[in-house]
A = this chain, B = another copy of it.
Amino acid sequence: MPSSFVLSGLVAHTPTKDRFQIMEPGYLLCLDGQVGGLFERLPQAYAGLPCYDFPRALILPGLCDAHLHAPQYAYRGTGMDLQLLDWLNRITFPQESLYADALHALHAYEPFADALKNSFTTRAAVFATSHTPATMTLMRLLERSGLCCYVGKVSMDRNAPESLLSAPGADARADLEAWLGDALTGFERTRPILTPRFAPSCSDALLALLGELRKAYRLPVQSHLSENLDEVAWVRRLFAQDSCYAGVYDRFGLLRGEDVVMAHGVHPTPEEEALLREAGTLIAHCPASNTNLASGIAPVRRYLDEGVRVCLGTDIAGGHDLSMFRAIADAVQVSKLRSHFTHGAEKPLTLSEAFYLATKGAAGFFGPVGSFETGREFDALVLDDSALASPLPLSAPERIERAVYLDRELVLLHKFVRGQRIPLGNGKEGASP
């Protein structure tokens, strides 16, 4: 596969959230891993490059999954009758304890990495567990997948089973730095990310340590925020001195900057919302998870209007489906119910807005990705939607809408990350371009 080439077909993306830019056919230029341009006619200067033509396919940006838990993939779709705190104690924590066993981790993470590789996702922010060897196994598997991922060894030192707690006291730094020593070398596409599980499972000392490491190593951060009303009340009790849940992370230098993502943000106080906007924190909206765990529905319309950064996540296994197309459709759906039930003044999300959340909404955090604007990293999906052919001709916007809603009928022909083609293992990929 050459490092510079052209894809042609129906190309669509959302440089702004208000609408899709669609070219049919469009010529999408990859120059050394970056988008070199999107053209209605290929400029003469690039006529010598290999051009791969997909006259019946959709070419869309790779999707960004800003929140999921790798060890939960193995039991996704179970325990769906529980709410957050029960679900953590009865299902998640006992399962995560098993990752102390490196062989278990390998057996569980291999199918996960394989599924993620074959999904519509090109970038992901992944929680592992608190176990260093298992986390390194996951990083190596994801590196091999060709995707670009952040992977976090989970930090937690209270309110969880003993076997999941981080090394206590002075050992905590040594434990994290030993991981970082391994995790910061030898990877091209996989990066470590600081991962306090969520405020209730972290002492002040642990959060302070993470804040120091963030500064010292310039590391990104992921955690959970204001997901569930009981959890929010618990945080208020545990951290009575802080103005709000996000304020806890902020106090320790774990909230500000475009490289911080906080999952959920379903129940922000007005003060918290103002803080998130000011801090530039990215919220990973996880509609399926917030529905399954009966957490509620995040105020995404308000976030967009007020300038809080927001993107999407599957939250495997609070969410049960790894498909980011499904997450886009879910985001539209739940926004309609929020609007119907309690927030009639908040217009539901449109398809292009939700698509933007799953692509360019996560730019910055994942680097310059998420659209086909010149200079962005070249992450692209080539999708065969011929199973969705209709007796009537479909317009390009209709084909895109159907691809999102009926994603189970798509065939992923090719997937590019930073201009590199991912060798898919689904037995369905097209002839090598």
Contacts and interface: CB of A to CB of B under 8 A. Distances in A.
B80 A351 contact: yes
Interface in A256-270: none
Given A391-B108, A406-B321, A294 B339 contact: yes
A346 B404 CA distance: 32
A92 interface: no
B333 A292 contact: yes
A320 B77 CA distance: 21
A74 B294 contact: no
A95 B394 CA distance: 12
A291 B406 contact: no
A45 to B, nearest CB: 38
Given A78-B398, A104-B391, A391-B74, A348 B294 contact: yes
Contacts of A398: 75, 78
Nearest to A342: B341
A391 B107 contact: yes
Interface string A352-393: 000000000000000000000000000000000000101110
Nearest to A293: B336
B405 A75 contact: no
Interface string A301-339: 000000000000000000011000000010011101111
Given A294-B339, A333-B291, A350 B390 contact: no
Contacts of A111: 391
Given A294-B336, A296-B340, A337-B341, A74 B351 contact: no
A236 interface: no
A158 interface: no
Contacts of A78: 394, 398, 401-402
A423 B292 CA distance: 36
A171 interface: no
A341 B341 contact: yes
A294 B337 contact: yes
Contact of A77 (B74, B339, B402): B402
A58 interface: no
Contacts of A77: 388, 401-402, 404-406
B80 A405 contact: yes
Interface string A20-34: 000000000000000
A148 interface: no
Contacts of A76: 402, 405-406
A80 B404 CA distance: 11
Interface string A90-108: 0000010010000010011
A297 interface: yes
Contact of A291 (B292, B336, B394, B402): B336
Nearest to A401: B78
Nearest to A108: B391
Considering residues A336, A348, A402, which has the most beta carbons from chain B within 10 angstroms of its beta carbon? Answer: A336
A408 interface: yes
A321 B404 CA distance: 12
Contacts of A291: 333-334, 336-337
Given A107-B391, A392-B74, A401-B80, A292 B342 contact: no
Considering residues A337, A388, A390, A394, which has the most beta carbons from chain B within 10 angstroms of its beta carbon? Answer: A337
A296 B338 CA distance: 10
A188 interface: no
A299 to B, nearest CB: 13
7 contacts: A77-B388, A77-B401, A80-B351, A294-B340, A320-B405, A334-B337, A341-B341
Given A74-B392, A80-B405, A338-B341, 14 more contacts: A76-B402, A76-B406, A77-B405, A78-B394, A78-B398, A81-B348, A98-B392, A291-B336, A295-B340, A296-B340, A297-B337, A320-B329, A321-B405, A337-B341
